[in-house]
Amino acid sequence: MRLSTSTNIMTFDTGRNYAVKMEESMRVCREAGYEYLDANLCGQSRPGQPLAAEDWEDWAHRMRALADGLGLKVTQSHAYWPIKYTVYPDGTRSDGELGEELMRRSVIAARILGTEWMVVHPLNVRDEVWTSRGRSFEYNRSYFGRWAEVYAENGVGMAIENMNCTLGRMSYGSSPEDLVELVEAIGNPMVGICLDTGHAHLSGLDVAAAVRRFARHLRATHIADNHGNADEHFAPYNGTVDWPAVMKAFRETGYAHDFSFEIHMLTAPYPVGVQKNLVRFSYELGRHLLSLG
């Protein structure tokens, strides 16, 4: 496994989001010891951020040049996803052409950055009562099946992420069977699964068992902890995930891709000027976790 972290480990300044530019996060991560990164392109796709700007492709080339100069490899990325948009029962989306364009930009930026696997979120389609598992499956199979071909043409793998499911709220992709069925239905070797340990724990899954269930398709990770009642994005050991058991499962299944932190709440409450030591701590914590199992 390769120890990695999302570039969103530095994005907040005393709770203010997008206060820290991705290039600053990259520099701090390299100083802390990281050699591999997950480029958080979903955050960079929001209004006012670089992928939403006219010079987005130039920005991507600048980030690649910076990574090369620092000796970093951006092996994993996270694509645009429609955080405040809706998929209607007929399969149309409220983000429409905007969503298509931002996904296209994500793929091209990932190619420029040298990404091996880019994470995507499965989407929910509701019927008149509830999230429809059947309609959601068909929508995601068609949508991601189409985009998988574009990803493959650009040399980027697609890793579909398990989502979270809490009391009173169903989310398609929170069940391991949802993801395995979806990936196998798409049937493209460039499509796999991203295990988000925080989402799995929040959904009441045995996280170590999820590692084993996904093993044949597992290509990426988002590593975070929580207490089982909110997606807290805490660093490991700050919640209730059984980390020795999880690391044992990774070892036993032979997972060899990125072990990538998504723990922005480690730094988010603090002023940016004191976050460097927290990033360094995350690197040491990651080294400890990789020594287990």
What is the spatial distance between Cα 283 and Cα 278, in angstroms, rounded to a whole number?
9
CATH code, 237:
3.20.20.150
Residue 188 burial class via C-beta count within 10 angstroms: exposed 0-12, middle 13-18, buried 19 and up: middle
Q: Which DSSP letter does residue 16 get?
A: B
26: phi then psi, degrees, rounded to nearest 5? -60, -45
Tell me the per-residue pLDDT of 67-100, one tens digit each, with 9 for 90 and over: 999 999 999 999 999 887 878 888 888 999 999 9
pLDDT of residue 22: 98
pLDDT of residue 186: 98
> What string of DSSP letters covers 84-119?
T--B-TTS-BTTHHHHHHHHHHHHHHHHHHT-SEEE
Place of tokens 């360094």: 280
Rounded to two decimals, the pTM is 0.96
Tell me the per-residue pLDDT of 2-59, one tens digit each, with 9 for 90 and over: 999 999 999 999 999 999 999 999 999 999 999 999 999 999 999 999 999 999 999 9
Can you tell me the mean pLDDT for 175-197? 97
Share of the chain above pLDDT 70, in %: 99
Q: Indicate whether 166 pLDDT > 70.
A: no
Q: Are 115 and 128 in contact (CB under 8 A)?
A: no
110: phi then psi, degrees, rounded to nearest 5? -60, -40
What total number of domains does the chain contain? 1
Residue 168 pLDDT class (50, 70, 90 cuts): low
- Domain carrying residue 267: 2-290
Q: Where are the beta strands (DSSP E) in 88-241?
A: 117-120, 157-161, 191-196, 218-222
What is the spatial distance between Cα 54 and Cα 89, in angstroms, rounded to a whole number?
33
* Residue 3 host element (H or E): strand 2-6
60 or 168, higher pLDDT: 60
